[in-house]
Copies of this chain bind each other. A is one copy, B any other.
């Protein structure tokens, strides 16, 4: 696990909601990478979940949870 970066740039701050959303996706993917470091196996699993309706929904749930944290860290991008 030590050699895998879990949060790019080691920061939750982003300039925009769009970039925050991209960060949330990356964070979710990096947890999978830390749990299954073998690139080839991950590639096989990606084929599975990209074609499975329930897994796609579950990925959406995970990203939504990550994004809640990223959005709070950025104070929802300050514009309220």
Binding site for B on A (CB under 8 A): 1, 5-7, 10-13, 16-18, 21-22, 25, 27-28, 31-32, 34-36, 41, 45-46, 48-69, 71-77, 79-80
Contact = CB atoms under 8 A, between A and B. Distances in A.
A1 to B, nearest CB: 7
Contacts of A17: 7, 10-12
Contacts of A25: 1, 6, 31, 34
Contacts of A32: 56-57, 59-60
Given A17-B11, A58-B57, A69 B79 contact: no
Interface centre among A21, A57, A73 (most CB of B within 10 A): A57
